[in-house]
Amino acid sequence: MNFKKEPFFDGNSEWEDLGNGVSRQLAGYNSQVMMVIVKFEKDAAGPLHQHFHSQITYVASGKFEVTVDGEIKILQQGDGFLAQPNIFHGVKCIEEGRLIDAFAPFREDFLIP
């Protein structure tokens, strides 16, 4: 499978408005992995959900209340979490910020317009 983007990512790509104070930017992907930057306004949320992908998330900025498999923690810049496949997880933004998500395999559902 080809990469959607060029081999280098300079951060100037278009943001997709997901509504309710959440936007995302696809950094790059192939059939095995995808990296996504997600921007949250204060009080915006990524509701509890599950999917078959493995997900590792790094808090690039801001502060978030994160729930993974029923456990709740407050995470800030430099922290992160791992959501194993099919485990419920979600976030609530306490202070405006950005998360960097890595998925394996890639999130095909993010490519559907």
Contacts of 55 (CB under 8 A, 6+ apart): 82, 83, 89, 101, 102, 103
Which domains are delineated in the chain? Answer: 16-107 (2.60.120.10)
**What is the percentage of the chain residues whose pLDDT exceeds 70?**
94
CA neighbor of 104 nearest in space, from 35, 47, 45, 42: 35
CA neighbor of 27 nearest in space, from 48, 49, 11: 11
Are residues 48 and 89 in contact, defined by beta-carbon separation less than 8 angstroms? Answer: yes
CA distance 32 to 53: 10
Report the pLDDT value the prediction gives residue 14, as an integer from 0 to 100.
86
pTM of the predicted structure, to 2 decimals? 0.92
39-75 pLDDT tens trace: 999 999 999 999 999 999 999 999 999 999 999 999 9
3-36 pLDDT tens trace: 565 678 878 888 999 999 999 999 988 889 999 9
81 forms beta bridges with 57
